[in-house]
Each structure stands twice: as structure tokens, then as C-alpha cells.
Structure 1
Amino acid sequence: MFTLKSNIKIIHFVALLSVFNFLFFHYPFFKFVFQNLDYSSFNGITIIISLIILMLVLNAFMFYLIFSLSQYVGKFLMVLFFIINSISVYFINTYGVILDESMIGNVLNTKFEELSSFFSFKLILYLFFFGIIPSICIVKAKILTVAWKKFLITISLTLLFLLSLIFANASNWLWIDKNSKTLGGLAMPWSYTVNISLFYVHQYKSNQKEILLPNATLKDNQKSVVVLVIGESARSQNFSLYGYDKNTNPLLSKIPNVAHFNATSCATYTTAGVKGILSHSDSGDLYEILPNYLFRNNVEVVWRTTNWGEPPVHIKNYQKRQDLLSQCKGKGCEYDELLLTGLKEQIQAIKNNKVLIVLHTSSSHGPSYSKKYPSKFENFKPVCNSVELGNCSQAELINAYDNTILYTDYLLFKVIEDLKQLKEYQSALIFVSDHGESLGEKNLYMHGLPLSLAPKEQYEIPFIVWTSDGSRQLKPNKLVSQYYVFHSVLNFLGVQSPIYDEKMNIFKQ
């Protein structure tokens, strides 16, 4: 970047940092710009040139402020920025993600074992060349500071220039505002620094004490059980029940009383998707979620999970992977089949007449789709075994993903078989996914794009229902949402509540 042994003026140093930050980390930003305006027109050229100048000057200005206040803090932050930038750009280039607030939440709620599945040699190259080498240069640099008077003159003139540039582009504000969320999610390092702050501010607000819903009553003593299976990254178009040309549902397709609805998710990432499934309405407030509400109103609730990202669950019987492993035997214990361990026996041991079981799966989460199912379910071949999904053919990628759907079909079949043996219960299974998944369409992978920008693959989800013989019939709804789960479960279990909405109930009275 510069001669390590020579002294360098602070203004030259931050200018170099800004240039290298621009060159190393802003290809995705300007790729989006070129794809979304007419770059051959005078107005398009004006926007591009203005954005380049704005980015270079604004970043240099911010770096200048930081280093003028403290060189030690400045070097620490610049090293941190270049390291995180290199990792961020790898994920943006490899998976087509945008680092908006929702994606930041997705990252911060992902556990280490899931993060480790993204490890690749290409990631190491990004980290080494774009992160570590520049960081060494930053640490070794000998920077000459300036007097406060010159500092104040410099920032004043720079601010004046930036304001002039912004107002000179007043005619382009509408385009920038329209695309601000994506542009902000691709601008390094501010995409993650700003959105991490926003995430924790909003999380603090949402983690305040939940708003209790009105008290409910049970209208009968009929023994009833609902098993709610929350899918992970399952998109409806790859289920043969929805017309997919591959037979990914060989078991469910042969079971009587299985129905499916067209459905959409309220978000494209796990935390918001699961919250939507458990909530009574589309509200930004933290209202009491379904398991907490039912448990408080005398329904027995069991939560089993191999995943994470749900809102706070306040029930007595909450079982994670490690809690279930001691009871499980066989190779299936390494996968979501673990959730079915002793499930029927657990339900039979419950003395309460009203039971909700929640199984929170992880079976279709990328990028390692081929590791989400036992080998005997690898029916569709060849499969993608790389975490760098762009290195696989789309056919290999889809084959691996389809095998996870085939495995999900088996898991749901096993749950239904258990419920069939509970003759004394009226039983229902509801399977709904937290969100969908992109598999290379439009060069996008996985999920997490803002809902306003996301393709249908990321929000069109399966909503599959089975009911025991003679229990309930279903309404002929054409389209439902995740919020239908809350009211449908209340209806099936005979829970009367002032919050109940018949319009969002899938069962006939």
C-alpha cells in the first residue's frame, strides 16, 4: 500500500485507505448500480461519477476523523474494518447477500457449528489478500498528524464539498432513496457497522417484557394434540405436493387427509420467520407468542429443537439437541430425526387433554445441503458438496436441496405414523417453513434478502396439514400466511380467546 519505513501524512494515509477500501470492497456496490440504471445516459453517468466521488471522499473524511482523534483507535478500527470487509465481500460475491439489518440479525443469531459450514479455501484467500496484508501495512505505517487548526479547516472544507455534491444531485435523490436499502447494505464498512447498531437497538426494544394477550379458556375436554413442525429454508416449489416434477414427497402423497395451502412467509430470515409463525398478527411489537400463550392458559406445550432463532420461549418442557441425544440411538440421531425420539411416548405420558408439540427443524439450511440428511436419502444425484455454491452446477445444487425435502417428507411421515397410534386423541400436523431459499436463480443463493427485493423462491413456502380421521376438515383457502398457524392451533385445540380471528383459521367449524 505504501512504504512501511517512511512517514506519511495523515491526509495521504486516509486517502490511500479510502482508495484501497473502494477498490477491494465495492465491486458488488457498483455492479448493482450498473444493473439498475441506464449508464449510457447523461443522468446515469452523473450518478455513477457522483457515487464514486462521494464514496471516496466520505470514507476518507470518516477515516480522517478517527485517526485525528486517536491513531491507536484508528489503526485498530481500520484493521477490524479490512478483516470484516474481506469476509463480508466474500459472502456477498459468493451467495449474493446484502448486509442490511435483517441479514445482520441472521448472522448474529447463527451458531458456530452453522458458521463453520461456510469455511472454504476461497474465504481464506479473500481474508489473506484483502484483510490480513492490508492490516499489516496499516499497523506498520508511521503517520504524521496535523495541528488542530489545519484539522478543522480540512473537515470544514470536506463537509462543504460533500454537501455541495449531495445537493448538486438533488434530481437523483429519488433513485438513491428507492435503492437506499441495497446500496447501504453493500457500502463497506458502513453496511454492517450501522446495521449492527440498528439491530441491537431494535433487539433491545423487542426484548422488553412481552405484551400479554387476553386470557383464554378451554371450551371442552376432548383430548387433542397438534404437532407444529417449523421447517428451515424449505421452499414450496420443490415439493411434489405443489406440482414439482421430481417426486420429493413419495410418502406424504400417499397418506389420506394430507392437504397443502399456498403460503408466503413474512420475512426471508429465521428469526423473523419463526416469530411470524408463532404470532397472532403482523405486529412489530413483542406480543405473547403461541407456545407461551397456550402454556399460560393450561395447554401442555413441548418444544424440541435442532435449530435456533426463535423468540423467547417461556414453557416448562423445552428440549434442545443435547437434551434429546441421551435418549436417541442410531445414525438418525445426527440429523433432524433426533426430534422424533420418544415423541409418541412423551405425548402419551402427558396428563393434560390439550397438547401442542413444536418441532423446530434445520433440515434444508444451506450451504451444506448434502450434510443435512442420511446417505440413504441421497436419491437425486449428482449433488453439490461444496459450500461455494457458485462452483456447483445448478443441477447438482438442486439435487442436494431436493434430498433435504425428501428427508423432510420422511420426517413428517414418521410424525403422522406416531399420531395415528394415539387413538384417544384428535390429532393434527401442521408443517410450515420459516422462509424459502434461492438456489442460483438470478445468481442468488440461500436467503436473507429484504422482502421487498427478494425473489419468490425466498418467500413462497410450504404449508402442509394432516388431520386424523374424523377430527376436522379444512377450509378451501387458496392462499394463507404464517399468521394462520396461531389461530388454527387455537381452533383445533378448542381454545377460546378474544384474540382469535376466524378469518385466519384453516379448519372448518
Structure 2
Amino acid sequence: MRNFLKERVSLARVAGELSVFTLIAYHWPFFSHVIENIKADFNGVLITAGLIFIMLGLNYFFYYLVLFLGRVVGKCILGFLFLGNALCLYFINTYQVLVTDKMMGNVFNTQYSEASGFFSWLSLLYILVLGVVPCIYLSMRKVDYGKTKKFFANIGTSLGVVLVIALVNIQNWPWIDRHATQLGSLLMPWSYTVNSVRFYNAEKKRNRKAILLPDAKIATTSKDVCVLIIGESARRENFSLYGYDRETNPLLKKDSVTALIANSAATYTTAGVKAILDHKETNKLYEILPNYLFRNGVDVVWRTANWGEPPVHIEKYYKAKDIKKKYPEADDRYDGVLLAGLKEDILSSNKDKVLVILHTSTSHGPTYNKKYPAEFEVFTPVCTTVEMAKADKQELMNAYDNTIVYTDYLVHSVIDILREIPERRGCVMFVSDHGESLGEGNLYMHGVPMAVAPKEQVEIPFIVWTSDRNMKVDASREVGQYNVFHSVLSFLGIESPIYDGEMDIFVGNKN
């Protein structure tokens, strides 16, 4: 081994070795997807072989280029990529994620306390074997970089081979185009590098100054309070209110709530929350609900134990740590902290119209068993591993169902708080940002592109309660996250040019 590392070898050999290693070590999920989606015929073999040689050629070109131009710096760059590949592969294999620009947005917006729950001892093994070991090899390998003439000959040859193979496979490009999202999300290191750039470019556009909506006015004199609870990863089929065979909503079933059939607009938090707060489906950054109502005279309170919302510009914005500081007795390990002092906040308002938004994180995986206090562990035994694919299916479901039981308690508690404030008309809306996969189709958690997303990640609960018996809700209609904006305006008696009566869930308020 020592003689092997002491031997000075050509850059072409090193680039070739790294290219083959990259193909074998990091691309089992890539080729598993290919094999699952091709026919067992000559054309299928041609597609697979073509992708293998194109990948080898492009990786060879990349490694040769980086090492020749960068030398020591090039080795450092490749070392970071090997570590990134190993970590990315761990998440792909463990959680069956697709590494798209949206998924990279989730990565960059995830807090440390949440991110740490995704790692296990297996992740260290991935990093050591598939990250650290190739880094050591690369750092100790003595390389003869050769002359410039040889450099151009090698990279020219590699690109030429890739071009020829691509032309041979030209009839198969429609197949590749159809699977481009999935293939691109499993291709190392391009999945996380290119999609990181795509995410930041999108963020740069999104974070420009919001487009202001037309001015609104408060049209009624009643004292009203609406509490919008944004759920996290709560899927509809596990709510007994929607017919689930387990009693996960024992409290809400007594609260005279209306459970509407709804689908999410996205399968990840940032887009799902934006849809709940937007007045219509759009890629543009319009003024969102809390900012709009605050600007137009409504007292708006935002309490969050989560992240990923669009920029919120109000005076009363509180994170869990802020609430904990004000109410030391509150347990900020769970979303119940969002209820601490909530009644006092509402009672202290000197405005007729109050909107409270609670952004929870109750059903976010993979550590479902850590998302609720011990007294809500109704279904046992529960899954305690973050390696969801290896978990016992029933234990995983038990832990997730307990988060729904806790959600039931949280929403019921908010309803009880509003009942204790009879001087204000009260309304509670609970809407999840997206659903969650729990092993169906070998998928876990969320984030699959909408074009191929399973129903478990799209079908969400939309639960409504109001103290005003005149505010009827049509339980037969199907709704979505964009209905929230117009329904909140309707309940609070806000007149606005952008109000859409067809998007209002309350019967009779269509003007």
C-alpha cells in the first residue's frame, strides 16, 4: 500500500480511477431508478450503457480539469465534494429523498436542532468510508500532471467520447427528458451543487421587495379574533376526523369543527407556508396575509416553533425562545409553548380585529417520538430510530399517530382559549403545509416534486371552528391552501379589491 501511494502516476490514471469510483460508490440509487423505469430489451440496455459511459466521460473530464488547473486546491475541492457525495447518499438511501433545488432549500433553512435528528451512527460510516477514505487517497496520491498539450488532448478525447455516445442514444433522449428531475436529483455531485445555485438564485428573486396589494378597509365593528394554525407534515388520512380507524382526534370530535377535504400546493415547508399566506397561486412575492392585515390596521401576532415562512413584517413576531423567556414555566421542547400567554396576548389587544398565526412543527420527522410530551404517547411501541427505512412499520406509524394526537390537543386548546373570550367572535383554522410519507412506495417524509408526489404528501387536513353560528362552512367542498387568505378576510370583516368570494370557505359571504 505504501509503495502504491509513493508511486507517481499520470493524471489520466488518477482521473480514471476517481471516475470509476464515483460511478460505483455514489450512483446505486441513480441506476436503480434507471433499471426500474426501462424495458428489459435492447433499447433499455442501450440507455443504461449510454448513461454509464456518459457519466464516466464527464466525471473524467471534470476530475482531469480540476486537478490539472487546481493542483493542491483542486484536490481540496474534490475532497469537499467526496464528503458532500457521501452525506448526500446517506440521505438518499436513508430517507429516499430527491435532491432538487426545493430540497436544498429545506437543507439551508433547517435549524440545527431539527437537522441533528436526521443523523445516526450510519451517517458517520457513510462519511468515513465514502468521504474520508477517498480524501486520504487523493491527498496522498503522487500525480504527474503532464504538459498542457496532453491536457487538451485528454479533455478533448473525453468530451468527444461523451458526444459520440450521446448521438448514438439520440433516440432515447425523450426518455431521459421525462426522467430528468429524478435522474438529476440522484447525480453526484451535480444534484446538490447545481441545485444549491438554483435555490439561491430563486431566493434572490423571491427576497426582493414584496409587491403591495391594494389597500383594504375594516368594514365591520364587531370584535373578532382569528387563529390560524399552520401544521407541519400533518397528512389527512391519519386524522380520525377524516375516517381514520384510530382515534387520533378525541378532543376535536367534540368541538363541532368542520373538516374540509384539501390538498397542498407543494410538498415542502417554504412553498406550503407561502401558499397558505398568499392570495393566489403565484411565483411572485406578493404581500402575504399577516403583512397585509397588519398594514391595514389589524393586530397581528406570529408565534413560531418552526421556520421557512416568507418575510414577516409585523411588530409582534415571537419565536419559541422568546415565549420561553417571557414564560419560563413553558416547555419549549414541544409546540405547546406557543400557547403560553396566548389568551393574555389576545385580551391585551386594543384593536377590534386580531389575527394570530401559530406555526407548529409537531409532525416533522424523522424523530416523531420526540415531538410530543410523554402523556400523548397513546400508541405504543414507537419508533426511536432516524433510519426510517429500517424501522418497524407499525412502530413508525405509532410514533407519527401520537403527533396527530398531540396536534388534536393543541388545536382543541386554542378553541378552548377562544371560548374563554366571549367578548370576541372567534375562529380557528388548522391547515397543514404538506403531508408525509411513512414508507408507502418506499418513500419517507416529504419533498417529492409535485409532478410525481404521492397522495400522502399532498392530502392535508383543513379544520375550521367558529363561535359564530351564522358563519357556516360548506363541508362538502374541496379546498386548498389559497382559500385561507380570503376566508380570514371574510371572517374579520375586511373589504379588499383582491378578495375572491369563490375562495371563501364561509357560506353566504361571497360579496
Q: Same fold per TM (> 0.5)? A: yes
Alpha-carbon deviation of 1:73?
Answer: 2.3
TM-score scaled by structure 2?
A: 0.97
Deviations 1:262-319 (A, max 9, x none): 1111111111110111001110011111100110111110000010010100000000
* In 2, Cα distance between equivalents of 1:326 and 1:200: 33
Is 1:253–2:250 an aligned residue pair? no
* In 2, Cα distance between equivalents of 1:331 and 1:392: 32
1:156-235 alignment to 2 at 5 Å?
Answer: 156-235=156-235
* In 2, Cα distance between equivalents of 1:4 and 1:263: 61
When the two chains are superposed, the root-mean-square deviation of aligned CA atoms in Å is 1.2
Residue 54 of structure 1 is matched in structure 2 by: 54
Alpha-carbon deviation of 1:62?
Answer: 1.1
Residue 65 of structure 2 is matched in structure 1 by: 65
Residue 243 of structure 2 is matched in structure 1 by: 243
Residue aligned with 1:214, SS:
coil
Residue 316 of structure 2 is matched in structure 1 by: 317
Residue aligned with 1:262, SS:
strand
Which residue type is aligned with residue 198 of structure 1?
R
Instruction: Check conservation: 1:86, 1:126, Cα contact below 8 A.
Output: yes
Instruction: Check conservation: 1:327, 1:341, Cα contact below 8 A.
Output: no
Alpha-carbon deviation of 1:329?
Answer: 5.1
Instruction: Check conservation: 2:330, 2:337, Cα contact below 8 A.
Output: no
Residue 115 of structure 2 is matched in structure 1 by: 115
Residue 495 of structure 1 is matched in structure 2 by: 494
Deviations 1:230-282 (A, max 9, x none): 000000000000100000000000112x0011111111111111011100111
Instruction: Check conservation: 1:219, 1:495, Cα contact below 8 A.
Output: yes
Residue 13 of structure 1 is matched in structure 2 by: 14
Alpha-carbon deviation of 1:3?
Answer: 2.3
Instruction: Check conservation: 2:298, 2:353, Cα contact below 8 A.
Output: yes
1:16-415 alignment to 2 at 5 Å?
Answer: 16-38=17-39, 40-256=40-256, 258-328=257-327, 330=329, 332-415=331-414
Alpha-carbon deviation of 1:478?
Answer: 2.4
Residue aligned with 1:334, SS:
coil
* In 2, Cα distance between equivalents of 1:448 and 1:5: 46
Structure 1 unaligned blocks of 5 or more: none
Instruction: Check conservation: 1:426, 1:471, Cα contact below 8 A.
Output: no
Alpha-carbon deviation of 1:154?
Answer: 2.0
Alpha-carbon deviation of 1:471?
Answer: 4.6
TM-score scaled by structure 1?
A: 0.98
Deviations 1:50-94 (A, max 9, x none): 011111111111111111211122111111111111111111001
Instruction: Check conservation: 1:274, 1:434, Cα contact below 8 A.
Output: yes
Tell which deviates more after alignment, 92-101 or 143-152.
143-152
Is 1:438–2:440 an aligned residue pair? no
Which residue type is aligned with residue 386 of structure 2?
V
Instruction: Check conservation: 2:232, 2:363, Cα contact below 8 A.
Output: yes
Deviations 1:342-397 (A, max 9, x none): 11111011011011000000110000000000000001011001111122111000
Structure 2 unaligned blocks of 5 or more: none
Residue aligned with 1:417, SS:
helix
Deviations 1:91-113 (A, max 9, x none): 10011001011111111110111
Residue 3 of structure 1 is matched in structure 2 by: 4
Deviations 1:404-453 (A, max 9, x none): 00000000010000001111111110000011111011111111111111
Alpha-carbon deviation of 1:330?
Answer: 4.7
Instruction: Check conservation: 2:12, 2:154, Cα contact below 8 A.
Output: no
Instruction: Check conservation: 1:230, 1:434, Cα contact below 8 A.
Output: yes
* In 1, Cα distance between equivalents of 2:82 and 2:498: 50
Residue aligned with 2:6, SS:
coil
Residue aligned with 1:172, SS:
helix
* In 1, Cα distance between equivalents of 2:249 and 2:340: 22
Which residue type is aligned with residue 309 of structure 2?
E
Alpha-carbon deviation of 1:219?
Answer: 0.7
Residue aligned with 1:452, SS:
helix
Instruction: Check conservation: 2:321, 2:332, Cα contact below 8 A.
Output: no
Q: Which runs of 4+ in 1 moved over 6 A?
A: none
Residue 461 of structure 2 is matched in structure 1 by: 462
Alpha-carbon deviation of 1:156?
Answer: 2.1
* In 1, Cα distance between equivalents of 2:468 and 2:504: 19
Alpha-carbon deviation of 1:190?
Answer: 0.5
* In 1, Cα distance between equivalents of 2:58 and 2:500: 51
The alignment covers a number of residue pairs equal to 507
Residue aligned with 2:136, SS:
helix
Instruction: Check conservation: 1:104, 1:195, Cα contact below 8 A.
Output: yes
Instruction: Check conservation: 1:477, 1:506, Cα contact below 8 A.
Output: no
* In 2, Cα distance between equivalents of 1:392 and 1:161: 44
* In 1, Cα distance between equivalents of 2:451 and 2:408: 30
* In 1, Cα distance between equivalents of 2:72 and 2:476: 62
